[in-house]
Amino acid sequence: MDLKTQKRLAANILNCGQNRVWIDPQELSEVSGAITKDDVRRFIVKGFIKAKPKVGASSARAKISREQKKKGRQRGMGKRRGKKTARTGKKVVWMKRIRSIRKDLVMLREKEKVTRKQYAKLYKMAGSGMFKDKANLHLQVTKMKEADIVKEEETVKKQ
């Protein structure tokens, strides 16, 4: 019993695909006699032919994934797509870095490990992107101190 024509007509009437058309299995012989659209409409009204509900994408897997990510899972190197800056922008990284360096600079000034002149110089250097991190800043501070000591020794020798 071929119901291709009936399914095609029903799909047209119900505004759905042929796969979504459901025909009552007990009424197959009766439905197979339908030739025109009017015949098919009659069977739709009787309830012998119906449109199955749309099947959406389940969000269960997405929900599980979201919960795992909350725990910190599924965030390894293998899951990452795109550049490093796709996850955290360059500006955000810069702000984080410069803020920590400047905070450290203020601490050094308050503890009087650097003079006001040195502070101003280091502040400008930090703003220009000279320091990669706080350790780099401290390295520069020690170099400045060593340079100051050498200068003092030279001035003492001249006198």
Show the domains of the chain with their CATH numbers: 4-51 (1.10.1650.10), 85-158 (1.10.1200.60)
In this prediction, residue 15 has a pLDDT band, given cuts at 50, 70 and 90, of: very high
**DSSP letter string, 91-138:** HHHHHHHHHHHHHHHHHHHHTTSS-HHHHHHHHHHHHTT--SSHHHHH
Give Cα 26 distance to the centre of its chain. Answer: 52
Q: What is the DSSP letter of 72?
A: T
Q: Are 25 and 35 in contact (CB under 8 A)?
A: no
Q: Is the pLDDT of residue 51 over 90?
A: yes
Could you tell me what percent of the chain has a pLDDT over 90? 89
In this prediction, residue 157 has a pLDDT band, given cuts at 50, 70 and 90, of: confident
User: What's residue 154's pLDDT?
Assistant: 87
Q: Are 40 and 10 in contact (CB under 8 A)?
A: yes
Condensed to tens digits (0 to 9), the pLDDT of residues 75-106 reads 999 999 999 899 899 999 999 999 999 999 99
Name the helix (H) or strand (E) containing 147. helix 134-158
Could you tell me what percent of the chain has a pLDDT over 70? 100
